[in-house]
Amino acid sequence: MNNSSSPTPTHVPTPTATPTESVPTLTSAFVTYKGHTGPAIGVVWSPDSKLLASCGNDGTVQVWDAKTGTTRWNVTTDRYTFAIAWSPDGKQIAAGGISGSVVLLDAATGHTLAKYQDQSDAIEGLAWSPDGAYLASGSQDNTVDVWDVHGGKKLLTYKGHSAAVAHVAWSPDGKEIASASYDQTVQVWNAKSGQTISTYKGLMAPVWSVAWSPDGKEISAGTGAAGANGPVTANNSAQVWNAATGQSVLTYTGDNGQVYALAWSPDGKELASGGDDDSVRIWNATTGQTRLRLHGQNDIIFGVAWSPDGKALASASADGTVMVWNVQG
């Protein structure tokens, strides 16, 4: 079933805070993973915080020990692999890449369990539903597909965007999906029907990253674009807004430039953002105050992921490394 719908409410923000930069900087991670032979694009933790999975322009998905950096397995899934997501039960890893296909892998072995092929351009975003029953894939063909993982069938295609979809995020209650697009919007829509609920236009630039707060009350997104569509050279920021009303809560301009990477801390108090200044900043989600800067990598930060236990942060860089940082306050 295909569902497309026109954007309904449009929310334009009034920023309420702008952070200042005078913070401690960490330059040494406790683990530096060098398994990729090209830029590392995505990174995600296992639900038990013991393992990490990363993907990159070498076309591989690699699973490795978060404490030692020891590789568990390494498989090629595409010519370039841009998106990765670990299932909530820890048993599967989804990966998507330039071919427009999504591959489901056994998290323990790396063996292919299923392959979904429907979208006609590169997959840049993947998100599991909180119950692990469904998977959303965002594509450069402007669409988002929602898949029934158990049945292996596509449930709907969302066609509300007029340009490439970069990333997608599922609401914690499983009812809604937020999608970020080069059309300068984040659209929130019903995960079952595909009906658009709201459209956020406050970033005023192509949108790359999007993340839902753990309590479901707020959404954050950051500007950026890649390939022929990038870079974004003006109006770069990360913003936080009320998911129910569309009211702006915060605009963060912490000098990341393009915000390719964005993640909420598990307690919902902080956000981590990374971009083309080659560093990660950790900042208060309410005030915008920057607490910590992580600067050990030498190229664009394309992915950040907070460990489920809140003790560590992983960052994936175009320099080919993935670093694991101790970020406890």
> pLDDT of 214-258, one tens digit each?
999 999 999 999 888 889 999 999 999 999 999 999 999 877 899
Whole-number Å distance between alpha carbons of 263 and 310: 12
* Among the ranges given (87-101, 119-133, 229-243, 299-313), the one the predictor scored with the smallest mean pLDDT: 229-243
What value does the mean pLDDT of the chain take?
A: 93
pLDDT band at 213 (very low <50, low <70, confident <90, very high): very high
Predicted local distance difference test score (pLDDT) of residue 329: 67
Rounded mean pLDDT, 209-217 = 98
pTM given for the model: 0.92
Whole-number Å distance between alpha carbons of 205 and 202: 9
Cα 270 off chain centre by: 16
Q: Read off φ and ψ for residue 227, nearest 5 degrees.
A: 65, -140
Predicted local distance difference test score (pLDDT) of residue 140: 97
The tokens 């370039």 sit on which residue? 80
Bridge pairing between strands 270-275 and 280-284: antiparallel
Rounded mean pLDDT, 103-109 = 98
Question: What does the buried/exposed string (b/e) look like for 27-40 if buried means 16 or more CB atoms within 10 Å of the residue's CB?
Answer: eebebebebbeebb
Contacts for 258 with CB less than 8 Å, ≥ 6 apart: 208, 222, 223, 224, 225, 230, 231, 232, 236, 275, 276, 300
Cα 255 off chain centre by: 19
Q: All domains of the chain, ordered by start, with CATH?
A: 10-326 (2.130.10.10)
Predicted local distance difference test score (pLDDT) of residue 23: 85
Predicted local distance difference test score (pLDDT) of residue 230: 87
Residue 229's SS3 state is helix
Using the predicted structure, report yes or no on whether residue 13 has a pLDDT greater than 90.
no
Predicted local distance difference test score (pLDDT) of residue 99: 97
